[in-house]
Structure 1
Amino acid sequence: MNQPAQQQDVPGVQSRMTPVPDCGEESYRGSGRLEGKAAVITGGDSGIGRAVAIAYAREGADVLIAYLSEHEDAQDTARLVEAAGRKAVLVSGDLSASSHCREIFDTAMREFGKIDVLVSNAAYQMSHDSLEEISEDEWDYTFKVNIGAMFHLVKAAVPRMVPGASIIGSSSVNSDNPSPTLAPYAATKAAIANFAASLAQLLGEKGIRVNSVAPGPIWTPLIPATMPEEKVESFGSDTPLGRAGQPAELAPVYVLLASDEASYVSGARIAVTGGRPIL
């Protein structure tokens, strides 16, 4: 089933989407799989990040939600985390600044006293039909937010992590099957998958696991904020399952990778793509 044509300004607001994405607000049921853990989630205000924050809280984790400027969405997510009986911490700011990435973890340590899980999920994209439309500033900013921030976040997190900690990067099906209209974004998503695989090997001796998730077309605020209306309307319809995915459909994978049950899962890349293959 297709979404109605719609557009928003960047970065997009979840509550103004039609239909509003399902982040598991009514459906996710926890079972204590992350009891007592503390997690940092970038882009945790909406979309996949919100779904992960809800799931983590209902599994027993306290959550720091890092976001750009979508205060209304972030506050909604914080209320959902607190309704699950867990602590929610909101930190707004631009991840393209390395200093902000470090500040996130200073705050996490001050609020939680530890960091067990980092989910590097925030991303920027814009759709362009030609190379000429992509400015140097946009290219640089996309790389700073999507992969540069992951580097700075990991650098800040690792010294505060202990054996058993988990790092999860949000890659994309675009890393293997890039859309030509999303060239800068697709390149960064390939870099995230590659960087996560390198980190799994570099950090194994510290007992820190690193994995990535490769979502397919998922219905999040990024879509109406960065794509033309006609693409929004047909978004996800070309997958084998014939529809866009909902953020709630990714949350169980992020829970697994953060949990102690995945103690020997490192260097993995898990596809949640509605049937599109990653190779």
Structure 2
Amino acid sequence: MPVAVVTGGSTGIGAAVVKTLAKRGYDVAFTYLKSEREAEAVAKEAESHGVRILYRRADATSWEEMRAFADEVRRVFGKVDALVANAGGLPQRRTLDESDLDYWKTLIDLNLTSAYIATKLFVPMMEKGVVVYVSSIAAYTGGGRGAFAYAAAKAGLLGLTRALAKELGPRGIRVVAVLPGLINTPFHEKAQTGDIDAWARNMVYMRRVGKPEEVAEVIAFLVSDGASYINGAFIDVNGGWYG
């Protein structure tokens, strides 16, 4: 049975990915940070598909906590076939003038370093496999007000995707990125985005906000054999919105 690892799997896109992959027959290991109750609910629903689910609290920016999680994944499952590096966010908006070095480092660690840590720990468990980085439309557009550090980190994921697709491709490991647009998740409440429905009506070609499940279905395809010749690609999941 294939095994998938998802970072930040308790809410939003991550939760949808866990449930979608479980439905498709993957055993899934996922992390959460603060949303323990939500993680329990995700695990319960995923387990209803007859697969094994492992979930643990782990800070995706902490090498020590993620290494402990990786060690447990190795003990329980023995391998990894797909890694979805989804952990990230924009806990506070600040412009360049409002920012300081600590703020910059926090956003880069949360959205970019976390992906490096997960990749470094889980790729060694892959004989062949797929790494999916959850970037953002902000990588193209620069994001809204006060999102410059977030946008820089998400753009960094695109560079990481291309570089590691080149490095790992000969080993049979594909690396791809998805770039969600306006998706109805708790992200926007935490990031104080504002009225995302109004944004969608004015900016998105399809005139609506996306669903986490719509991103999860794309990721499920990308980690499948049906996407076996897709490597180093950036996949937009945004309903048509390019800034």
Name 2:208's counterpart in structure 1.
243
Give the CA RMSD over aligned residues. 1.6
What's the counterpart of residue 11 of structure 1? none
1:101 to 57, 66, 75: 66
- Whether 1:64 aligns to 2:64 is no
Report the residue type matching 1:173 in the other structure.
I
Q: Which residue of 2 aligns with 1:30?
A: none
> 1:138 aligned to 103, 117, 120, which one?
103
Structure 2 residue aligned with 1:234: 198
**2: CA distance between counterparts of 1:180 and 1:55?**
30
Task: Name the CA shift for 1:173/1:114 in 2 (closer, same or farther; >3 Å).
Answer: same
Q: Distance in 2 between matches of 1:127 and 1:244?
A: 22
1:181-196 maps to which residues of 2 (within 5 A)?
Answer: 181=145, 182-196=147-161
- Within 5 A, what are the aligned runs for 1:247-266? 247-266=212-231
- CA–CA distance in 1 between the matches of 2:101 and 2:77? 39
Q: Distance in 2 between matches of 1:56 and 1:201?
A: 26
What's the CA shift for 1:235?
Answer: 4.5
TM-score by length of 1: 0.82
Shift of 1:68: 0.9
Asked whether the equivalents of residues 116 and 166 of structure 1 are also in contact (C-alpha less than 8 Å), the reply is yes
Query: Is contact 1:42–1:65 with CA below 8 Å preserved after alignment?
Result: yes
After superposition, give the CA deviation of every residue in 1:183-240 in whole Å (9 maximum; x if it has no partner).
1111111000110111000001111011010100111111111215x44563433211
Paired AA for residue 176 in structure 1: Y
Q: Which residue of 2 aligns with 1:173?
A: 137
2:75 is the alignment partner of 1:110: yes
Q: Secondary structure at the match of 1:187?
A: helix
Note the C-alpha offset of 1:112: 1.1
- Percent identity among equivalent residues? 33
Higher relative contact order (CA closer than 8 Å, sequence separation 6+): 1
Quick one: which of 72, 75, 82 aligns to 2:47? 82
- Give 1:162 deviation, angstroms: 0.3
Q: Which amino acid is 1:261 matched to?
A: G
CA 75–177 in structure 1, closer or farther in 2 if over 3 Å, else same = same
Q: SS state of the match for residue 189, structure 1? A: helix
Question: Which stretch shows the higher mean deviation, 189-198 or 95-104?
Answer: 95-104
Query: Quick check: 1:142–1:184 contact (8 Å CA) kept in 2?
Result: yes
Unaligned runs of 5+ in 1: 1-35
Give the number of aligned pairs: 241
2:141 maps to amino acid: N
1:62 offset after TM fit, Å?
0.6
Gaps in structure 2 of 5+ consecutive residues: none
Structure 1 residues 78 and 173: alpha-carbon distance in aligned structure 2, compared to 1, 3 A threshold: same
**Equivalent residues of 1:257, 1:265 under 8 A apart:** yes
Contact residue 101 and residue 149 of structure 1 kept, 8 A? no
**In structure 1, C-alpha distance between the alignment counterparts of 2:165 and 2:186, rounded to whole Å:** 30
Q: Tell me how far 1:55 sits from its aligned partner.
A: 0.7
How has the CA–CA distance of structure 1 residues 127 and 144 changed in structure 2, closer, same or farther, with 3 Å as cutoff? closer
Name the SS of the counterpart of 1:89 in structure 2.
Answer: strand
What is the TM-score normalised by the length of structure 2?
0.94
Given that 1:218 and 1:236 are in contact with CA atoms closer than 8 Å, whether structure 2 keeps it comes out as no
Q: Secondary structure at the match of 1:131?
A: coil
Contact 1:213 1:269 in 2 (8 A): yes
Aligned to 2:177, the other structure's residue is in SS state: strand
